[in-house]
Structure 1
Amino acid sequence: MADSDTGAFIWYELMTPDPDAAKVFYDAVIGWDVAPRDADRSDMDYRMIRRSDGGMAGGVLALSQQMQDGGARPAWYGYVHVADVDAAKQAFEEAGGAVHFDQTMEGVGRMALVTDAQGAPLYVMTPSPPAEDPDAKSDVFDYEKAEHFRWNDLQSDDPDGALALYSRIFGWQKTGAMPMGELGDYTFIGRHPGDMIGAVMKRLPLTPRSVWTHYIGVDDIDRAVRAVQEGAGRIDQGPDQIPGGEFSATGTDPQGVVFGIVGPRKGE
């Protein structure tokens, strides 16, 4: 993976107890085509998320009962590219966070699941680039495109501490802020001026813990909202207009996983 990917979200993974139901739901809402289970693999059920343009948007991991008994819970997780997984793990632990999982997969790379001091989880990863394309770049995140992830939103009990930690480890910068009254600032983050990865804000009262919410691009926000509701999901907030004229909403899928969607309103 190219050095320029350092600090970027390079992969997203849905952990769910029912990947078949997740396929039906997200294929309808987003326009993806989640691959069927690989019948040749008995060690785990991992499915690639295919976009309509032929690219990949991430993966779906089936949560076994054993994994859930060990503390894993259904959620979307983001992967951030780092040059040194050990150094990133140490930085999270020294800042009061924790390391929950560390694995090297041949042909994939080294990854670790970490939480910051407020308990918000994500993965740090040093990927192994394809032999035929050593300078490959991830395109799962794109600030403007449907079927890609478009935004990463952190609600934290300590936004300033979180910003300091992620800036130190990933090189992220504050790229602007939007005042939110008693909640303080909605602080935009990027890897350089003009870059837009997402934002950090104070945890909302109804959010049970500090957490990342990842927003997926859709072609039509109203169509996607209807698909959520028709697919036994729930819209928890929105659609709300955002700067630039598009709309965003947050919801919960049928397995209890929180997600975000963002896109235009085609009816207007």
Structure 2
Amino acid sequence: MAENSASMYGEGTPCWADAQLPDVEAGKRFYGELFGWTFDGEDAPGGSVWARLDGEPVASLAPKTDGRMPTVWTVYFATPDARALTARITEAGGRLISGPFAVADLGAAALVTDPEGAVFGLWQSDGHRGFGRRHEPGAFVWTELYTPEPRAANTFYGDLFHEALFGSGADPDFGRALITDVFPAEMPAHFLVHFRVGDLDAALAVVRRLGGRVQVPPFDASYGRVAVVTDNQGASFALLTR
């Protein structure tokens, strides 16, 4: 399903994803071939590049500013007021990592964790609304929270994002699962960004050819058939087909 890039996302809706990478140029080659993305630096701050699908923004790749930072994909949830939401998150047992801070004239961002330590972002839109396309091959389609405490997560995120998750017409693109459903018990709580592909087996072959690896082979989930992979720099993400 194509989305108009000018559309607004309600609070609690996944609205953006970025990858922090040691080598952005290598990331452009990997994701460009895997998903058919094109890239430009127009309006993208801090040396990052925007990934586009048919001209619409679908993600960004950013250079790691500190080698100690993880190589990782981060999902951002929309909010009309990042400062107020960060206060609610910390009051509920989460933690503020950074922000909220202005991102050029595009909006304001913050990085936070839930009480179990899963990292996610907040995005308060100004000039940049978020995904221009989603739910279609080559675009974001889902994010899954893997946590040791799914019931506690349901309470935490339900209180934060009740309308997005449970309101009329809710389209959350967001699920919760026990870590041991897919990952070893020692894996920390985390969000896993999913991109849709038309042919999962063909996409996995491309990942391997480009130097990535299959972290979790294909399995059936309630929201589609999924495989967890890493890119050629170690950032984990999922491929999903429906």
**Would you say same fold, with TM above 0.5?**
yes
Quote the residue 2:151 is aligned against. 160
Report the alpha carbon displacement of residue 258 of structure 1 after superposing the two structures with TM. 0.7
Report the alpha carbon displacement of residue 261 of structure 1 after superposing the two structures with TM. 0.6
Report the alpha carbon displacement of residue 129 of structure 1 after superposing the two structures with TM. 3.8
Structure showing greater relative contact order (alpha-carbon pairs closer than 8 Å, 6 or more residues apart) = 2
Instruction: Give secondary structure in 2 for the equivalent of 1:29.
Output: helix
Contact 2:51 2:59 in 1 (8 A): yes
1:34 and 1:7, CA in 2 relative to 1: closer, same or farther beyond 3 A?
same
Contact 1:109 1:128 in 2 (8 A): yes
Instruction: Give secondary structure in 1 for the equivalent of 2:207.
Output: helix
Quote the residue 1:225 is aligned against. 204
Contact 2:13 2:172 in 1 (8 A): no
Separation in 1 of the partners of 2:93 and 2:110? 16
Residue 126 of structure 2: which of 113, 125, 128 is its match?
Answer: 128
Spell out the pairing of 1:1-268 with structure 2 (5 A cutoff).
5-35=10-40, 44-51=46-53, 53-64=54-65, 67-69=66-68, 72-102=69-99, 103-129=101-127, 138-142=131-135, 145-171=136-162, 192=168, 195-204=171-180, 205-206=183-184, 208-242=187-221, 247-263=225-241
Give the letter aligned to residue 153 of structure 1: E
Contact 1:11 1:140 in 2 (8 A): no
TM-score of the aligned structures, taking structure 1 as reference length: 0.78
Larger radius of gyration: 1
Give the letter aligned to residue 95 of structure 1: A
Report the alpha carbon displacement of residue 208 of structure 1 after superposing the two structures with TM. 1.8
1:263 and 1:107, CA in 2 relative to 1: closer, same or farther beyond 3 A?
same
1:234 and 1:137, CA in 2 relative to 1: closer, same or farther beyond 3 A?
closer
1:18 and 1:163, CA in 2 relative to 1: closer, same or farther beyond 3 A?
same
Report the alpha carbon displacement of residue 2 of structure 1 after superposing the two structures with TM. 5.8
Separation in 1 of the partners of 2:82 and 2:31? 31
Instruction: Give secondary structure in 2 for the equivalent of 1:262.
Output: strand
1:242 and 1:100, CA in 2 relative to 1: closer, same or farther beyond 3 A?
closer
Q: Deviation string for 1:157-189 (max 9, x for gaps)?
A: 22111121112122257xxxxxxxxxxxxxxx5
Q: How high is the sequence identity, in percent, across the aligned residues? A: 22
TM-score of the aligned structures, taking structure 2 as reference length: 0.85
Report the alpha carbon displacement of residue 108 of structure 1 after superposing the two structures with TM. 0.9
Give the letter aligned to residue 152 of structure 1: T
Gap regions ≥5 residues in structure 1: 131-135, 174-188
- How large is the Cα RMSD of the aligned pairs? 2.6
Instruction: Give secondary structure in 2 for the equivalent of 1:6.
Output: coil
Contact 1:215 1:260 in 2 (8 A): yes
Contact 1:235 1:249 in 2 (8 A): yes
Instruction: Give secondary structure in 1 for the equivalent of 2:28.
Output: helix
